[in-house]
């Protein structure tokens, strides 16, 4: 009877040992599978970071392109005399631009969309004048004719007026 119990215990122990080995083997396979998944996850995280960087670069490039597109029709005029009041300066700036563009530079279709002075007003200094034109072709026609400013006299002379 005692040996029967020992045999059953030995048999039970052998089965437990086999089960333990099976569990160890399954655990080893699961660890391998887990490592593979962790590696895949790391690659996906790296890919996500790369994609995020690419997206940021594209957004930055698009913003820069938009800024260029907005500035495409802009001219900056230097040495355009400023008047004592803002209203008088605005009126005089428009008159000067129209006169210089049409009479001196002979660009008749120059449509000014907006004008503003850049920077802070300082006594005795004329601020640059930003002129937004309706078309870039007009801007290039004005720049092409800008060499005429050297030869004209008066308010449009090169001493008083410079294009960029």
Residues 41 and 82 in one domain: no
Q: How far is 139 from 75, CA to CA, in rounded Å?
A: 7
Of residues 44, 111, 24, the one with CA closest to residue 75? 111
Residues 119 and 39 in one domain: no
127: exposed, middle or buried (Cβ count in 10 Å: 0-12, 13-18, 19+) = middle
Q: How far is 94 from 79, CA to CA, in rounded Å?
A: 14
Domain count, the chain: 2
Q: How confident is the model at residue 53 (pLDDT cuts 50, 70, 90)?
A: very high
Residues 1 and 51 in one domain: yes
pTM: 0.60
Range of the structural domain that residue 83 is part of: 73-163
Residues 116 and 65 in one domain: no
State the CATH number of the domain containing residue 91.
3.30.70
Q: What is the dihedral of CA 151, 153, 156, 162, to 10 degrees?
A: 50
Tens digit of each residue's pLDDT (9 = 90 or more) over 112-146: 999 999 998 888 888 999 999 998 888 888 888 88
What is the arithmetic mean of pLDDT over 41-53? 96
Last residue of a domain, one of 71, 103, 118: 71
Residues 80 and 66 in one domain: no
Q: What is the CB neighbour count within 10 angstroms for residue 162?
A: 14
């Amino acid at each position: 009877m005692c040996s029967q119990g020992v045999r059953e215990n030995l048999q039970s122990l052998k089965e437990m040992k086999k089960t333990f080995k099976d569990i160890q083997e399954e655990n080893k396979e699961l660890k391998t599978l887990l490592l593979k998944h962790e590696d895949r996850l790391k690659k996906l995280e790296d890919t996500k970071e790369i994609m995020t960087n690419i997206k940021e670069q594209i957004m930055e490039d698009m913003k820069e392109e938009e800024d260029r597109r907005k500035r495409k029709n802009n001219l900056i005029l230097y040495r355009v005399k400023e008047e004592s009041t803002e209203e008088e300066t605005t009126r005089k700036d428009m008159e000067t631009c129209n006169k210089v563009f049409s009479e001196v530079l002979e660009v008749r279709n120059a449509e000014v969309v907006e004008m503003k002075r850049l920077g802070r007003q300082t006594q005795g200094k004329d601020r640059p004048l930003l002129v937004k034109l309706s078309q870039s072709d007009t801007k290039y026609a004005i720049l092409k004719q800008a060499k005429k400013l050297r030869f004209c006299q008066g308010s449009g002379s090169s001493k008083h007026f410079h294009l960029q």
